[in-house]
Amino acid sequence: MGYGEVYADWAANPDAFWMKAAEAIDWDRAPSHALDDRNAPLYGWFADALGNTCYNAVDRHVEAGHGDRVAIIHDSPVTGSKERITYADLRERVARLAGALASRGIVKGDRVIIYMPMLPEALVGMLACARIGAIHSVVFGGFAAPELAVRIDDAAPKAILLASCGIEPGRVVAYKPLVDAAIEMANVKPETCFVLQRPQAVATLVEGRDFDWLQAAAAAEPVPCVPVGGMDPVYILYTSGTTGQPKGVVRPTAGHMVALAWTMKNIYAIGAGDVFWAASDVGWVVGHSYICYAPLLVGATTIVFEGKPVGTPDAGTFWRVIEEYGVKSFFTAPTALRAIKREDSAGNFIRDYDLECMKLLFLAGERADPDTIVWAQEHLKVPVIDHWWQTETGWAICADPAGIELLPIKLGSPTVPMPGYDVQILSEAGTPAGPGELGAVTIKLPLPPGTLSTLWNAEARFVKSYLTTFPGYYETGDAGMIDADGYLYIMARTDDVINVAGHRLSTGAMEEVLASHPDVAECAVIGVADDLKGQLPMGFVCLNKGCEREPDDVIRECVKLVRDRIGPVAAFKSAVVVERLPKTRSGKILRGIMGRIADGQDYKMPATIDDPAILGEISDTLSKVGLIKNA
Ligand code: COA
Ligand code: AMP
């Protein structure tokens, strides 16, 4: 069957389509049906099934005689170490860590926060939680202590799994003091921390609360997998929304297993024994789905890479890993390719390696610019597939389904909707847009298995954020269009989320931090175009009346404040002091226009602007400090 037939097959009978896909999973109790629409517009999938994600990702492969197959390869150019972990080893490590968690009273439904760099133990921790039905919440290591504290208070974890440090090029980031500070700030106090001690920064343990991870696991009895309900969450993953309060995306167990297993074969063309590499981080959804769960669910080998695309040690690092381990499908972010291209535009490093093993390259996380795609096509000589999805969906909404049929690639488009997704472009009034017409990108409900069921502790926010603007549709927050061939184009976000080096960040959250500075009366943060990272945040602050301080000093403090409160990942480094912010007559800050000015683009004067002269002031100020692009 080609893509058109598979999509039509799904559309004709979604229940039958997903029940068939569910046969790839070993259930403790098989589902009797797929969709549960009793609570519409909140939907469930495989609600009466019983199963365990860790069993399907690990144990069943060992029981089927594949214990010697490599499950995880760890490659760490920043520490100079490499390790291969077989499925049998993995089961042993996971079952013992699960035993250690159980011995500390952690049971099904309890939450566990994981704050880890790119080590195989991050996956061991996730799987150990899944094994006992505990719900993990991985927090990206580049977030600062206050962000971690917000997540601790929301998820109310009984335990935290962490490594003593992460390693960024040129510096060791001690994680333990960050976790200690976050626990100090949080109202909820986790009872247990398991600390993986790394020689680069050995952590001091707090008596009675902190335990050495490896010693605790070695001393524990391995425990078996606990069957959980189809709708029981396997994890919560916090993502940026429009305010400083992150959204806790809840991922139910059964749909997650079914959908991810389906994608490995049909999108990524990967099966048991193949080597798959997603060069992302476990702290992001790509890391959850495609470093940890999906490759393991199908018995493939996954790579955990602790390094950067450039500088660890050079722009050939990705190609070295692909050759050394025989990677068949490779997944990265466009920004990583841009970083490589900037250092090696002629592709000299690429020619140093034999990349015959690599059949497909996948890109996601941000818009893939045509220049980068063409560069990769020319130098790597494989199909370069842009695919579009979000933390909320957990897997690709639109892609080129290489495992079914490789459709012609159109530059700038992540191709076509995957089965399960009825993607529609709607006008502000909710009417369907025609081919090539720009509008809000929406998905007709229900969303397919594997997508979020709700937001943790925030059902009303879930409904308000995603299901209210267009009744009967899920609002993606992206704007775009569909062409006459059914190809989707994503053009922009409709909210204040920006995408910095493939990392999703909220400008609203940064504004909250700036507003807390004692000298700041008012502020705005916008995303400006950046050749490497796609977008970078830029701040505009108005000082309190009578404030006599040097603007540069206030800016320096603002930059530090964002780094300390949100984290280095925010990459907030540019800000200016301005007299006034441009607003509409009703007081809404005109962020879009400020972005166009900073990007050096033309703009139309909005009819609703309160005082047009302010735009000239903004432009002059940015010019003076050299912050206008292409000026
Ligand atoms: N722990 C602590 N700090 C971290 C961190 C972590 N896990 N990850 C990033 N940081 C820090 C970095 O050290 C850097 O700090 P600095 O401002 O002191 O230099 C800051 O956060 C920004 O990091 P990063 O976004 O990685 O930028 P970079 O300039 O170091 O590297 C790229 C640029 C393009 C090479 C890099 O962003 C990259 O590889 N991006 C791909 C992202 C990706 O895969 N996203 C997943 C979506 S699919
Ligand atoms: P995240 O939840 O971090 O994965 O970010 C999701 C958002 O990143 C999407 O809503 C888009 O705005 C953007 N995004 C992800 N992948 C793509 C892509 N292939 N093309 C364009 N935008 C993308």
**What domains can you pick out in the chain, each with its CATH number?**
83-226 (3.40.50.980), 501-624 (3.30.300.30)
Q: Give the residue-averaged pLDDT of 36-47.
A: 97
Q: Give the residue-averaged pLDDT of 158-177.
A: 97
Atom of ligand 2 nearest to the CA of 284: 3
Tell me which DSSP letter residue 281 carries.
Answer: -
Say yes or no to pLDDT of 98 above 70: yes
d(CA 568, CA 144): 7
Question: Would you call the peptide bond into 446 cis, given omega within 30 degrees of 0 as the criterion?
Answer: yes
- SS3 track for 534-593: EEEEEEEEEECCCCCCCHHHHHHHHHHHHHHHCCHHHCCCEEEECCCCCEECCCCECHHH
Tell me which DSSP letter residue 148 carries.
Answer: H
Question: Separation of 569 CA from ligand 1 center, angstroms?
Answer: 6
Buried/exposed code over 60-94 (b: 16+ C-beta within 10 A; e: otherwise): bbbeeebbebbbbbbbbbbeeeeeebbbbbbbbbb
DSSP output for 432-448: BP-TT--EEEEEESSPP
Displacement of CA 34 from its chain's centroid (Å): 26
d(CA 269, CA 276): 10
Q: Is 180 in the pocket of ligand 2 (CB under 6 A)?
A: no
Say yes or no to pLDDT of 41 above 70: yes
**Reported confidence tier of residue 365, pLDDT bands at 50, 70, 90:** very high
Q: Is 502 in the pocket of ligand 1 (CB under 6 A)?
A: yes
Question: Separation of 279 CA from ligand 1 center, angstroms?
Answer: 12
Mean of per-residue pLDDT scores for the chain? 96
pLDDT, tens digit (0-9, with 9 covering 90-100), for 6-20: 999 999 999 999 999
Q: Percentage of residues in the chain with pLDDT exceeding 70?
A: 100
Question: Separation of 152 CA from ligand 2 center, angstroms?
Answer: 26
Question: Separation of 476 CA from ligand 2 center, angstroms?
Answer: 10
Q: Is 203 in the pocket of ligand 1 (CB under 6 A)?
A: no
Mutate to test the pocket of ligand 2, among 499, 503, 569 (most ligand atoms within 8 A of CB): 499
Q: Is 363 in the pocket of ligand 1 (CB under 6 A)?
A: no
pLDDT at 604 (0 to 100): 86
Q: Percentage of residues in the chain with pLDDT exceeding 90?
A: 93
Displacement of CA 300 from its chain's centroid (Å): 21
Q: Give the residue-averaged pLDDT of 137-162.
A: 97
Which residue has a Cα nearest atom 33 of ligand 1?
501
Q: Is 309 in the pocket of ligand 1 (CB under 6 A)?
A: yes
Cα angle at 506 between 512 and 620, to 5 degrees?
A: 75
- H or E stretch at 498: strand 497-500
pLDDT, tens digit (0-9, with 9 covering 90-100), for 551-598: 999 999 999 999 999 999 999 999 999 999 999 998 889 998 999 999
Say yes or no to pLDDT of 281 above 70: yes
Atom of ligand 1 nearest to the CA of 310: 35
Question: Separation of 539 CA from ligand 2 center, angstroms?
Answer: 23
Q: Give the residue-averaged pLDDT of 43-55.
A: 98
**Reported confidence tier of residue 244, pLDDT bands at 50, 70, 90:** confident
pLDDT at 631 (0 to 100): 58
Q: Give the residue-averaged pLDDT of 67-91.
A: 98
Q: Is 364 in the pocket of ligand 2 (CB under 6 A)?
A: yes
**Reported confidence tier of residue 603, pLDDT bands at 50, 70, 90:** confident
pLDDT, tens digit (0-9, with 9 covering 90-100), for 487-542: 999 999 988 899 999 999 999 999 999 999 999 999 999 999 999 999 999 999 99
Q: Quick check: 382 and 337 in contact, CB under 8 A? A: no
Q: Give the residue-averaged pLDDT of 277-295.
A: 98
Q: Is 480 in the pocket of ligand 2 (CB under 6 A)?
A: no
Query: Model-level pTM?
Result: 0.96
Q: Quick check: 346 and 377 in contact, CB under 8 A? A: no
